[in-house]
């Protein structure tokens, strides 16, 4: 190292380059950190929408700062330092280290946001971040700084064996610091570190062994492939966590255009992020295999095969993204909230869906089979496979399956005809055989009914039989009330009519009525009560809600009008009691009639 330092110091322009590289590195750090620091702290108690907007704004500031730092580093490297001399090479290496180190520090800053817990994408305590940060910074410094500087040292007189030994030692130090950072981050949470200790240890050992193999064998493609896989996974994690935070925020508020957007497209976007991350990892692995794999297929054949694999993956990925986009749009445009979400929203009677939204789940299944099937065929054709025999074999196989699974075919065909007949829709309350409930889900071969007590019944379409739909067009509700036998029927009729007129103008329930509440007549005459029947006709969305409100008003108004409900008391009289009463009355009256009057 002393010999290398002497050689670099003796190069022409060393003092000038040394004077320039310090301010250049400081300026790169400042430019990268300036846009994020321009953001104001989010006030305590801010709404979820404000939190989500601030997260997006901070991320945009980080990207702007990173791009500005990259541009500045390129300008300094190309214009301020000469790569032909040792001092210029060292200055460029220091600039590369500064840029990569600053960019790598942005990743934990975006995920954890030290000092701003309400803007974190990953849940963590301030104590965890404070304990792990020094070790993490040191690990990144060693892991980035040494690979950036070692080529300059080796090119200016360092012995290769000494350089390899130093590289192995520095790799061990970087892996140990990374292990220490993970330990300090997980230790404050009770029970978390023992569960992740082995994984952290295996990761640190694997990193060191991969680096050491590249150093000793002078074969670094595998190490760089591992680093690229980690970078792709980290970017995927950042995107996935942002989608999760946005989706969680939208579920809490659900207000405004942004909230509705994330509620509709948040879950598909999360799957798309996972698919893109997986595709990126596959591309990295295929590229590494094409670069280092044995050429046993012939000159250039492995590279050609790798290119075809990437093209096939791109074709299938495009098909998958198309399916997710169309499926999310159909769901957002035509499918209403599920019964569970409506019940959680304290809606007593979920609103039935339209006919089109009922067909959407089935259409989505057909689209999945069509788009993904065509994408798979295109991918196979891109790989050079002849898909004609595959299609013919699929037809024969499908014919064999159709003969072997007649019940499945019957269920699918019966489901198609049920949907064509518009026998039921999502959210409607139906009864079939001994089962009844609200239609919660429709697939190609079955239907799911949610009972009002919460049970879920799954029925194949072929076993439905006759279906009774309680939620179509209108519902007539009839109920009986027991009133006292001496009530005035005409007073009751007028009172109920007035209650019905008041319900018609009610701002919430008035639009539900088709025919108002009215007295239908006397349904029965009992020993101690008159049984009167009432009825009204409403839309099928909230019949029980309307009935409860009608009964509440009837009880209140009847009490005001003096209309009494029947009591359960029954008076029983016998003939012997009547005779004894008459004899007692005659015995008392006889002396009175015979005695002279006294004036």
Query: Does the model's pTM come out above 0.75?
Result: no
CA-CA distance, 334 to 317, in Å (whole number)? 26
Q: Please name every residue paired with 459 in a beta bridge, in sequence order, or none if there are none.
A: 447
CA distances from 503 to 479, 496, 552 (A): 17, 11, 12
Q: What's the pLDDT score for residue 197?
A: 84
Highest mean pLDDT out of 14-28, 317-331, 497-511: 497-511
DSSP string, 43-77: PTT--HHHHHHHHHHHHHHHHHHHHHHHHHHHHHH
- Position with higher pLDDT, 322 vs 253: 322
CA distances from 189 to 40, 120, 121 (A): 30, 17, 18
CA-CA distance, 179 to 140, in Å (whole number)? 12
Q: What's the pLDDT score for residue 299?
A: 53
Q: What's the pLDDT score for residue 341?
A: 45
Region 5-9: mean pLDDT is 70
Region 376-399: mean pLDDT is 70
- Burial (0-12, 13-18, 19+ Cβ within 10 Å), 352: buried
Low-confidence winner among 169-183, 287-301, 312-326, 567-581 (lowest mean pLDDT):
567-581
- Position with higher pLDDT, 397 vs 593: 397
Phi, psi of 191 (to 5 degrees): 80, -5
Highest mean pLDDT out of 31-35, 148-152, 306-310: 148-152
Per residue in 164-202, pLDDT tens? Answer: 888 899 999 999 999 999 998 888 888 878 888 888 889
Region 468-487: mean pLDDT is 86
Highest mean pLDDT out of 138-142, 214-218, 303-307: 138-142
Per residue in 249-281, pLDDT tens? Answer: 776 665 556 667 777 777 788 888 888 888 888
Domain extents in the chain = 1-123, 127-217, 220-291, 324-469, 475-561
Region 477-494: mean pLDDT is 89
Fold of 475-561: Alpha-Beta Plaits (3.30.70)
Q: What's the pLDDT score for residue 173?
A: 93
CA-CA distance, 138 to 178, in Å (whole number)? 8
pLDDT-derived band of residue 590, with 50, 70 and 90 as boundaries? very low
How far is CA 540 from its chain centroid? Answer: 32
Q: What's the pLDDT score for residue 506?
A: 87
pLDDT at 597 over 50: no
Per residue in 98-147, pLDDT tens? Answer: 888 888 888 888 888 887 777 778 888 888 888 889 999 999 999 888 88
pLDDT at 389 over 80: no
Helix pair angle (256-292, 48-79), 10° resolution: 40
Q: What's the pLDDT score for residue 205?
A: 92
Structure tokens at 367: 């689209």
CA-CA distance, 105 to 247, in Å (whole number)? 26
Name the percent of the chain in helix, strand, coil, to the closest 5: 70, 10, 25
Sheet holding 513-525, edge to edge: 475-483, 530-538, 513-525
- Position with higher pLDDT, 375 vs 5: 375
- Asked if residue 374 lies in contact with residue 319, where contact means CB atoms within 8 angstroms, the answer is yes
Mean pLDDT of the chain: 79
Rg (CA), the chain: 40
Region 197-216: mean pLDDT is 88
CA-CA distance, 268 to 323, in Å (whole number)? 10
Per residue in 531-560, pLDDT tens? Answer: 999 999 988 878 888 889 999 999 999 888
Neighbours of 278 (CB within 10 A): 15
SS (H, E, C) 576-592: HHHHHHHHHHHHHHHHH
Sheet holding 429-432, edge to edge: 456-460, 446-450, 435-442, 429-432, 468-469
Phi, psi of 4 (to 5 degrees): -65, -45
Of 468, 472, 429, 433, whose CA–CA distance to 452 is shortest? 429
pLDDT at 576 over 80: no
Phi-psi map region of 310: left, alpha, beta (phi>0 left; psi -120 to 50 alpha): alpha
Residue 420 has what DSSP assignment? H
- Position with higher pLDDT, 381 vs 584: 381
Helix (H, G, I), strand (E, B) or coil at 477: strand
């Amino acid at each position: 190292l002393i010999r290398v330092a002497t050689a670099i110091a003796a190069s022409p322009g060393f003092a000038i380059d040394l004077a320039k590289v310090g301010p250049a590195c400081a300026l790169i750090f400042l430019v990268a950190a300036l846009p994020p620091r321009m953001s104001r702290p989010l006030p305590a108690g801010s709404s979820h929408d404000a939190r989500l907007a601030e997260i997006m704004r901070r991320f945009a500031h980080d990207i702007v700062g990173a791009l500005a730092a990259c541009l500045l580093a390129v300008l300094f490297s190309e214009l301020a330092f000469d790569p032909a001399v040792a001092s210029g090479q060292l200055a460029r290496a220091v600039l590369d280290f500064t840029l990569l180190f600053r960019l790598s520090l942005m990743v934990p800053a975006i995920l954890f946001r030290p000092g701003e817990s309400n803007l974190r994408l990953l849940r963590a305590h301030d104590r965890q971040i404070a304990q792990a940060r020094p070790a993490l910074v040191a690990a990144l410094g060693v892991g980035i700084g040494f690979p950036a500087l070692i080529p300059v040292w080796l090119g200016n007189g360092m012995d290769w064996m000494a350089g390899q030994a130093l590289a192995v030692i520095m790799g061990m130090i970087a892996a140990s610091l990374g292990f220490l950072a993970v330990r300090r981050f997980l230790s404050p949470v009770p029970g978390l570190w023992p569960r992740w200790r082995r994984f952290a240890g295996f990761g640190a050992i694997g990193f060191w062994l991969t680096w050491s193999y590249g150093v000793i064998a002078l074969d670094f493609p595998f190490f760089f492939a591992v680093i690229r896989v980690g970078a792709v996974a980290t970017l995927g994690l950042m995107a996935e966590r942002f989608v999760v935070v946005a989706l969680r925020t939208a579920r809490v508020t659900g207000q405004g255009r942004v909230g509705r957007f994330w509620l509709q497209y948040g879950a598909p976007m999360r799957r798309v992020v996972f698919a893109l991350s997986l595709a990126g990892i596959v591309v990295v692995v295929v590229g590494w295999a094409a670069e280092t794999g044995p050429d046993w297929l012939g000159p250039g054949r492995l590279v050609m095969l790798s290119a075809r694999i990437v093209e096939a993956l791109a074709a299938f990925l495009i098909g998958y993204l198309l399916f997710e986009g169309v499926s999310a749009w159909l769901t957002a445009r035509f499918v209403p909230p599920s019964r569970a979400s409506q019940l959680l929203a304290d809606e007593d009677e979920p609103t039935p869906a339209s006919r089109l939204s009922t067909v959407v789940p089935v259409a989505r299944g057909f689209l999945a089979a069509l788009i993904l099937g065509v994408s798979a065929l295109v991918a196979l054709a891109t790989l050079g496979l002849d898909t004609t025999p595959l299609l013919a074999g699929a037809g024969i196989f499908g014919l064999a399956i159709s003969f072997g699974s007649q019940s499945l075919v019957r269920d699918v065909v019966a489901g198609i005809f049920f949907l064509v007949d518009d026998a039921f829709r999502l959210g409607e309350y139906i009864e079939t055989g001994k089962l009844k409930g609200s239609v919660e889900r429709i697939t190609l071969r079955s239907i799911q009914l949610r009972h009002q007590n919460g049970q879920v019944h799954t029925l194949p379409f072929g076993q439905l039989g006759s279906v009774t739909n309680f939620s179509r067009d209108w519902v007539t509700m009839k109920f009986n009330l027991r009133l006292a036998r001496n009530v005035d029927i005409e007073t009751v009729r007028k009172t109920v009519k007035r209650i019905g007129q008041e319900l018609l103008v009610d701002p919430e329930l008035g639009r539900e009525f088709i025919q108002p509440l009215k007295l239908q007549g006397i349904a029965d005459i009992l020993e101690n009560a008159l049984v009167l029947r009432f009825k009204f006709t409403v839309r099928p969305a909230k019949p029980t809600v309307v009935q409860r409100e009608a009964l509440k008003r009837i009880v209140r108004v009847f009490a005001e009008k003096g209309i009494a409900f029947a009591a359960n008391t029954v008076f029983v009289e016998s003939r012997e009691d009547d005779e004894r009463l008459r004899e007692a009355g005659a015995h008392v009256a006889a002396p009175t009639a015979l005695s002279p009057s006294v004036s």
